[in-house]
Structure formats: C-alpha cells, structure tokens
Amino acid sequence: MADVRLLRFRSAVPLALAVLLTACATTSNQPTGPKVKSLDIEGTKQVDEGDIKDRILTSSTPWYAFWPFGKAHYFDTNAWQADLRRIERFYQAQGYYQAQVESNEVIPDGDKAVRLKVVVNEGAPTVIDRVETHGLESLSQGENQPSQRERERILEELPVKPGDVFREDTWVATKDLVLQRLKDLGYAEAEVGGEVRVDVATQKAVVDLQIAPGLRYRFGNIFIATDANPQVPPRRIIEQAQGAVHKGAYFSEAALAEAQARVFRMGVFGAVKVNRGAPDRQNGTVPVVVDVRESPFHSIRLGGGIGVDAARQEGRVLGEWTNRNFRGGLRRLTLRGRVGYAFIPNVLASVRGDEGSQDGPIFNLTTEFEQPRFLFRDVALQASVTAEKGLQQAYSFYGGYLKTGVIWTPHPSFSVFPSYNLQLYRLKGQVSADETVPPIILGCNDPSGQCDVALSFLEVAFAWDRRDDRTEPRDGYYAALSVQKGGGPFFGNYDYVRLLPDLRYYYSIGEKKDLTVALKLRMGTLDPAGGGQSSIVTRFFSGGATSMRGFNGQRLSPMTPLAPTYKKDDDGNILLDGAGNPILESWDTVPVGGNSLVETSVELRYMLTDALMLAVFYDSGLVGTEGLIGKNAPKLFGPEHYHAVGAGLRYLTVVGPIRLDIARRLNIGRGLPVSDPGYIYPSSGGCLGFGRKFGKASTSADAAYAGAPEGLCAVHISIGEAF
C-alpha cells in the first residue's frame, strides 16, 4: 500500500491498492439480476474510461456473448455500490484525491436488462513537488563500496519525477526499482520504503524515499536440494550454476536468475528454483540454494496435423521418443518421425487426375544424439542422421542428410553452433533443366529432370534470444545469423556462400500488455562461386503462414511454367479465337526459388478476451533470381518487391495460438519472373480462386498486375504465431 498522508485532513487510504487493482472485470455466474446492456462513465478526461472499467466488478455484456467464449454479464446491487467506491479509490491511486462520483443511474431497458450511467468529477491532480532520498550516504563510506557511477545509477531515471502527476503504482514501481538495483550491487538485505506527503490545499506532493542498504554481500557456497535418489549428480548442477554465480563475486539477483536458466536448460528437470540462503553477516557472504525436481528421463510424444494451402495440402502423424540419460552422463538420444501424404495442388485435383496435379507419401525420420559438457562446461556435441521423402510443387525427392557439430552456449540467451553438413538428394522435377537460364531451373544437368545432388557445407549459426516467451512473445527481441560455405575444400556438387540474418522485435503496451507491436526483418543471399547455378534445395522461397502472407506457400518465387491448358467444347475439341489461335484456359506455374530473399512484417496484436486475439499486419517480400549483392541484385521497394495487408484472429491454447490470417496483396510492382519468355500472364488474378482470367494475351511481366500469375488474396490457417 502506498504511504500517503493528507496534511489537512489526515485521512487514511480506505482500501488496499492491491485488492482494487486485481478486481475481477466480469461476473461469470448468472445471478438473479437483469442483464447489463451498457455501462457509460461520463466526465472522464484525464483517466481513461476503459481503465476504470477494468478495475470494477460490474461490466456490460459484450457483443460476442453469443459465441462459445462469450457470456452475458448481470447486474448485482451490492457489487454496484462497491464499484462506485472503487471508482473513487482508483482516481485517488491516479493522483486525483478530490475526485467524486457525482451521480449514478440504473435505467431499465425492458424487463430483463438495464443500462448503467455514472458521472464523475475528476477534480485537480496532485503533482509531485520534489523527491527526497535518505539513506544512501553510507554507500560512500568504508571499503568495498560501489563506485560513484554505480551509486549514481541507483537513482537514475526513476518513475517518479518532479512535475509529474503522483500515481501510486508509479510510487510502488519506484521503490521496487531502487530495491532491485541495490540487490544487484550486493545489498541482499536492502529495504526501501518511505512516504508521500500530500497537501490537498495546494495539490502538491513530497515524495520521501527512505533507503536502508544494509551490508554488501558476496556469493558463498552453492547447495543443492534435490530428489531422494537423484540420477543427476549434484556436482553437475553446481557446475552449471557456477557459470553465473561466482564464489567471491558480489551478490546479484540477476546472477541468480541466470543460474536458474542455466540449470533448467540442462533439460532434465521439471522444476528449478535458485534462491539465496540466509546471509552470513559475520563473513559477509550469501549461500546459494538450487532446488530441483527431476522430470522423467524417458518420454513419448504422439500427435498429428494437416496443412491446408491453395498450392499444397497434406495430412501427417508425428511421433518422438527421447532418452535424456542415454548410457548415463545426461546424454540425450531422440528418435523423431513424421509420416504423411501430400497433394499438389489439392486433394480434389489429385482425385480428378487434373494435369499437373501430384500426390504421394512423405516422411522424415531423424535420429539425434547430444553429448553435454563436451570438453568444456558450456559446449555440447550434437549429431543427427535424417532420412526424408518429400513432394514440392516443382519437384519430388528422397534422400538424407548428416549433421554434426558443437553448440557453445556462454549465456542462456546466446548460442553459437558450428556444424558440418552432408546432404544427398535425388530430385525428380516437373520442369527440365535449361542451362541458358541458370537461376530458373532445378539446378540439375540431366535433361530428363531427374538428378542426384550432393551438398557438403560448413555452417555457423548464431542466435541471441531475449523474448519473454518463444511461443507467444509479447516483449523482447530475437537476432540470428546463419552462414553456410559449400563446396571448395568440403567437396560436393556446388560451391557457394549462403547468408541468412533474421531480426525480430516485440513491445507490448498497457498494464495487461493487451496491445503488442511485432516487427520482423529477414534477409538472405546465395552466391554460387564463379557465377554458376545453384541447387533448388539451397534457394530461397517465400509465401505462406510464417513468411510473406500475401502469397500462398512458397509461391513468392521465380517461376517455371507447366504445359498450358486450353478451353474445349463438349466433344473435347480445342476452341479457337477469331484469329485461329487456341483459347487459353489456364497456364499454371511452379516455384523454383531464387538467390535472394527479403521479408519484412509489421503486426499489431490486440487481446479481445483472455483467449481471443485480433491482429492486423503489413507484410512485404522479395525473392530474386540474383543474390542481394552485385550489380544485378534486385532492388528493395523495386518492381519485384511485393506488399500485402491483412487481418487475422488467434485463439490461444496450451499448444500455442490457433491462427487464421487473411491477406490481400497490393497492386504495386510487376508480375513474378517466369522462365519462358512466351508465358502469357493472366489479365486478372482474382481472390481465393475466383475471378482469375486470361482475357488479354500479354507476355510482359511489366504489364501484369503485381505478383501475377498468383491470386491477389491468400488465407492461412496454422498453429503458432507468424513470428
């Protein structure tokens, strides 16, 4: 509770702030009262009406009450009278100590509903006149005291500032911030309190911050609290904790949090808590207690799913078996499998036997082994072998790959993963190779469209992950970089360098973080040595639920055409136009990837309810035939850089948000590059499969609408956020 004294009236704070700020916003059970049809609060100028409604019990029935996750809200007289007092108390917490509820009305609306109206008089706000601090003088005395810069940082940029309106939550945040800074300097028993003296006559407040730092402590020994018969040796836990907690270093709660993250990252504990023990005042040390509970060392996970897209559909089952203590030493062995059946472009086309349609079984089977503490504490050895069969729009394939490397994790948020990779594929494509246009082919030299590909490359992957939640991030950032060098001393069929940086940023607004701003920038370049061609399995594609949502899956790409289809009469004869040329019905294409990639996204996510989120977004994307670096590089915001806007809904579940996104591409730019110069672009792309026309015969990408021949709209259904 905020310590506030009124100089003239000496009135005590009537209700505990913590109780009021956690007041429930709705009533779930239906009482005997009428339904609340509307709730209006008039006179709110300096305080947001929505913030008041969030802190009272009574609320109006939402418009979505008929949905499964919506409920009607009902009027209760006792709750309403308490809410009127809560409104005045909330104003006091915001610095408006003279605020009053001038009137309230309960207006009948038929026999079973009421409309509520409240009129408030906010009064003048209480402004902070000055901030006084007492107790930090002792930090400049004696040995082993903080430096002058460290002492100055304790009071830097505090939430309470002279001239601001006094708010109790800001006052609480100030005390918590000062306390946190003291503890991070080694003052494990520091106390921060104080009072605020308010003169209601002048509407001025004096903030008096009282600080008792206490002794400055250093870290002592680390102790382990674990299960009765643990399989994980305590020395291994201590070793991980010592990566953050160094004996003899000054105590810091930030170090305790890092130690907890390090121990949890071992992957064998269901619960981890790192706390300080009772301080030893005589020696000036604080012991550290690591409390862990082991999780099962063997686990099996089963699941399934479907992928639905305008260009590809599939059903699949998933399975995973993990042994987290394989042959002791916390070695991890994982067997992971995915088996399914895919249809291109969809099930119906495959059943009808449409020209260009494909279907077939797909699978991915992986065996992965990880050896922790490989040579050093923060280094792990990881090796995996995978067998795979797949079906893409431009080709089908089967093969496998080997990956082995070491993961160095000097910080829970930062990792470096150098690895050697060997990938072997046999490709069979719908399009044949054409060496006159190297970027727009499978990357094979066999004219039949079938070839064997051997990729041998070294990769170094860097990741810095400071997101608050990897499944549903609200705050923080993520930065990653992948660097591949293929061929050369590593042999293989292709000699190339591939770069792929990825940046994401999240920021939430509001006390409940209801509004989240999410940003993404992803760029890639693939540079074959000597200007040669690249393999399709190394190229970039975009489009789909997790990339540029203005295109369907992998459809933002250079294209190669399939055989055209022509209109026919009832007898199966091809129809001709007035000039004697066959009338084109459709001319489908398949994506074959490019050597450059740019993806950007700006998304606003707003929580409508505890389970339902609304999102609006702007995406842009580019996949060019040449790399991003060089004289022929594609131009950012040029004619092959496409843009889309859209909106979506997310339903939050324990496995992540179920997401529906609808995007509409803007008609800015030209058509996609197609390898056949005689390809005829559609005159209209339509939306969602409707309205596509080949009315005017045009072979010019510049004359086509942006992103032709793809439709202008795309719908995506998936689990998990877009980024």
CA distance 6 to 464: 50
CA distance 287 to 277: 5
**Does the pLDDT at position 448 exceed 60?**
no
**Does the pLDDT at position 200 exceed 90?**
no
Residue pLDDT, tens place only, 590-604: 899 999 999 999 999
Look at residue 413 and give its three-state secondary structure.
coil
pLDDT category at 5 given cuts 50, 70, 90 is very low
Q: What is the pLDDT of residue 629?
A: 87
Q: What is the pLDDT of residue 7?
A: 39
Q: What is the pLDDT of residue 82?
A: 96
Q: What is the pLDDT of residue 72?
A: 87
pLDDT category at 475 given cuts 50, 70, 90 is very high
Across 363-370, average pLDDT: 97
Q: Write the CA distances from 64 to 60, 69, 110, 609, 711, integer angstroms.
A: 11, 8, 21, 10, 32
**Residue 595 near residue 527 (C-beta atoms within 8 A):** yes
Q: What is the dihedral of CA 383, 375, 464, 252, to 10 degrees?
A: 140
Q: What percent of the chain has pLDDT over 90?
A: 65
Across 396-417, average pLDDT: 94
Residue type, 226: T
Q: What is the pLDDT of residue 30?
A: 52
Q: What is the pLDDT of residue 677?
A: 87
Helix axis angle for 77-93 and 168-183, nearest 10°, is 60
Residue pLDDT, tens place only, 168-179: 999 999 999 999
pLDDT category at 340 given cuts 50, 70, 90 is very high
Residue 612 forms beta bridges with which residues?
651
Across 564-576, average pLDDT: 85
Q: What is the pLDDT of residue 530?
A: 76
User: Of 328 and 143, which is predicted with more confidence?
Assistant: 328
Q: Please give the structure tokens belonging to residue 146.
A: 């903080």
Average pLDDT, the chain: 88
What residues contact 251, with CB distance under 8 A and at least 6 apart?
A: 183, 186, 187, 188, 216, 217, 218, 219, 276, 286
Half-sphere exposure of 675 (CA within 13 A, CB side): 27
CA distance 542 to 550: 10
Residue pLDDT, tens place only, 264-285: 999 899 999 999 999 999 999 9
- Among the listed ranges 24-38, 96-110, 388-402, 523-537, which one has the minimum average pLDDT value? 24-38
**Does the pLDDT at position 103 exceed 70?**
yes
Closest C-alpha among 344, 373, 349 to residue 360: 344
Q: Write the CA distances from 186 to 144, 158, 253, integer angstroms.
A: 11, 20, 9
Across 113-132, average pLDDT: 94
**Does the pLDDT at position 439 exceed 90?**
no
**Does the pLDDT at position 374 exceed 60?**
yes
Across 23-39, average pLDDT: 67
Across 89-114, average pLDDT: 93
Across 291-317, average pLDDT: 89
Across 626-641, average pLDDT: 91
User: Of 31 and 538, which is predicted with more confidence?
Assistant: 538
User: What does the DSSP assignment read for 212-244?
Assistant: E-----EEEEEEEE--SS-SS-HHHHHHHHTTT
**Does the pLDDT at position 9 exceed 60?**
no
What secondary structure letter does DSSP report for 250?
B
**Does the pLDDT at position 77 exceed 70?**
yes
CA distance 664 to 601: 14
**Residue 674 near residue 698 (C-beta atoms within 8 A):** no
Q: What is the pLDDT of residue 396?
A: 87
Q: What is the dihedral of CA 689, 694, 700, 705, to 10 degrees?
A: -40
pLDDT category at 25 given cuts 50, 70, 90 is very low
Q: What is the pLDDT of residue 10?
A: 32
Q: Please give the structure tokens belonging to residue 596.
A: 């450059």
Report CA 352 to chain centroid distance, whole Å: 40
